[in-house]
Amino acid sequence: MKKEVITVIVPCYNEEESLPLFYEEIKKVALEFKEKNVKLELLFVDDGSKDHTLEIIKDFSKDKDVHYLSFSRNFGKEAAIYAGLSKANGDYITLMDADLQDPPKMLLEMYHYLKDEDYDTVGVRRKTRKGEPIIRSFFANMFYKIIAKISKTEMVPGARDFRLMKKQVVEAILSLEEYNRYSKGLFSFVGFKTKWLEYENVVRVAGKTKWNFWKLLVYAFDGIIAFSTAPLVIATFLGILFCLISFILILIIIFKTLIFGDPVSGWPSLVCIIFFVSGIQLFCLGISSAYLSKTYLEVKKRPVYIIKESDVN
């Protein structure tokens, strides 16, 4: 029987501290897979790290089952995922963080669902966000609530990028050639039969998270813009609403003047109204500009990543 291959894609950005720990753990899992006649192949993607990440993964790649790609600069995790998926050629493909937040041991269970049951992909979601700042959890929960309401693409709360997929699913993801890649949405957009496994949140083994609050907020907005056009409808709706309000106000003023002969008064309220309405206008302009700017980046057709060196082709 042909030996099956699982490609493990590991995006790495300044992960010199966690990589040796990760490698040790994944090797243990590789041995367990070997007993099942499955080969675990590693593909490290160095996302323009400024520390010794590249040296470390080059050193790992002396092993014939370990490969690497290195970007010319930091292109972001989404780009690293895309590059990894494009270059992976296993029968099954998985994405894992280098910081052991995605427990490598879960791969065995995930593989079981794809192999013995009829699933095409297995995703992992956190049951709780223990160990995470409260404010971050609050906004994350809010994001999932909003996106569930305004997008047709389902985003599972707490879902991580950690997932095991059949080759066919990866090909579907790669067929989406957009520049603004929001993987959580893309995974769900392509469909296929998905099994969700739950686990307790694990904190990073070493090093620091690359995300701060601001970056997460921008990431959330990117997700909304990539997978919903509802904000544009909100802009239109606000426009119509304000036209109606002003129409009613005009009628009231005309009647008041005709019946009571009221002289026009109220400068302060007028100023407030002007400020309020121009605020709304700028807000709506901002919404359409957000879509315009994404379209602008999309039509330029710039590459999602640039490889400086690698041992795969």
Identity of the residue, 46 or 97, whose beta carbon is nearer to Mg ion in the bound complex: 97
Nearest distance, CB of residue 165 and ligand UDP, angstroms: 18
Identity of the residue, 93 or 98, whose beta carbon is nearer to ligand UDP in the bound complex: 98
**Residue 58 interacting partner from ligand UDP, Mg ion, none (CB closer than 5 to 8 Å by kind):** none
Is 14 a binding residue for Mg ion by CB under 5 A? The answer is no
The residue length of the chain stands at 313
Identity of the residue, 47 or 99, whose beta carbon is nearer to Mg ion in the bound complex: 99
The residues binding ligand UDP (CB under 6 A) are 11-13, 15, 47, 74, 76-77, 80, 97-99, 101, 204, 209-211
Scan residues 166-225 and list those touching Mg ion (CB under 5 A).
none
Nearest distance, CB of residue 89 and ligand UDP, angstroms: 21
Nearest distance, CB of residue 103 and Mg ion, angstroms: 12
**Residue 11 interacting partner from Mg ion, ligand UDP, none (CB closer than 5 to 8 Å by kind):** ligand UDP
Nearest distance, CB of residue 210 and Mg ion, angstroms: 8
Scan residues 83-142 and list those touching Mg ion (CB under 5 A).
97, 99, 101
| Lookup result for tokens 């009647």 | 255
Strands 159-166, 66-71: pairing is unpaired
Identity of the residue, 97 or 120, whose beta carbon is nearer to ligand UDP in the bound complex: 97
Nearest distance, CB of residue 204 and ligand UDP, angstroms: 6
Nearest distance, CB of residue 40 and ligand UDP, angstroms: 17
How many whole angstroms separate alpha carbon 124 and alpha carbon 160?
6
**Residue 257 interacting partner from ligand UDP, Mg ion, none (CB closer than 5 to 8 Å by kind):** none
Identity of the residue, 70 or 228, whose beta carbon is nearer to ligand UDP in the bound complex: 70
Identity of the residue, 164 or 284, whose beta carbon is nearer to ligand UDP in the bound complex: 164
Strand ranges, E, within 28-158:
38-46, 66-71, 92-95, 121-126
**Residue 41 interacting partner from Mg ion, ligand UDP, none (CB closer than 5 to 8 Å by kind):** none
Identity of the residue, 53 or 101, whose beta carbon is nearer to Mg ion in the bound complex: 101
Nearest distance, CB of residue 211 and Mg ion, angstroms: 8
8 A C-beta contact, residue 20 and residue 59: no
How many whole angstroms separate alpha carbon 81 and alpha carbon 68?
13
Nearest distance, CB of residue 248 and ligand UDP, angstroms: 49
**Residue 123 interacting partner from Mg ion, ligand UDP, none (CB closer than 5 to 8 Å by kind):** none
Identity of the residue, 32 or 132, whose beta carbon is nearer to ligand UDP in the bound complex: 132
**Residue 235 interacting partner from Mg ion, ligand UDP, none (CB closer than 5 to 8 Å by kind):** none
DSSP for the chain, please give it. -PPEEEEEEEEESS-TTTHHHHHHHHHHHHHHHHHTTEEEEEEEEE-S-SSSHHHHHHHHTTSTTEEEEEESS---HHHHHHHHHHH--SSEEEE--TTS-S-TTHHHHHHHHHHHSS-SEEEEEES--TTS-HHHHHHHHHHHHHHHHH-SS---TTEEEEEEEEHHHHHHHHT---SS--HHHHHHHT---EEEEEE-----SSS--S--HHHHHHHHHHHHHHH--HHHHHHHHHHHHHHHHHHHHHHHHHHHHHHH-PPP--HHHHHHHHHHHHHHHHHHHHHHHHHHHHHHHHHHT--S--EEEES--
**Positions that interact with Mg ion (CB under 5 A):** 97, 99, 101
